[in-house]
Homo-oligomer: A and B are copies of this chain.
Amino acid sequence: MKYGIAIFPSKKLQDKVNSLRKRYDPRYALIPPHITLKTPFEIDDSKITDLINQIKTVAEESEPIQIRVDKVSSFNPVNNVVYLKIEPKDQLTALHERLGTCDIEDTEEYSFVPHITIGQELSDEEHNDVLGSLKMQDFNHEELVDRFQLLYELDNGVWTVYETFHLGKKN
């Protein structure tokens, strides 16, 4: 089965992002707004219990993270994904790297940039328009992230949460 690991931010931030994703993200209906910690990977069902135990240890040995929404940015020219940049990059990258020590097949094509996708699969013209107009908006926001989720993908592309992990707590 295909799994992924992600942070769902607060309802407030998700609602704000969804008001934009509705227009700019064709994958809007498949998963709520999130910060990807591990891109989708395949794992055999027989190995999932071991993996969950490894992830529990990573979560327990990490601390909650005060995240800041920074500015709107884009992965162009790699791809036309418009996103909210999430700080502090160092703490989120450290968590991402600790998760990388678990028995998860490495499927990551790009270096890790903590972000919440706002728009994707945009034409070059749409991309430039969206990026230009969003760069002028104020997205200033802070919140404490104290948990993340392990999800699996259904045949229709929708993601279901399987397990919640708490940062800095016994799971």
Range, interface on chain A? 20 to 34
Q: Which residues of B contact A14 (CB under 8 A)?
A: 154, 160
Q: Which residues of B contact A160 (CB under 8 A)?
A: 8, 11, 14, 32
Residues of chain A at the chain B interface (Cβ within 8 Å): 1, 8, 11, 14-15, 18-19, 22, 29, 32, 147, 149, 152, 154-156, 158, 160-164
What are 18 A-B contacts defined by CB distance under 8 Å?
A8-B162, A11-B152, A11-B154, A11-B160, A14-B154, A15-B154, A15-B155, A15-B156, A18-B155, A18-B156, A18-B158, A19-B155, A32-B154, A32-B158, A149-B161, A161-B161, A163-B164, A164-B164
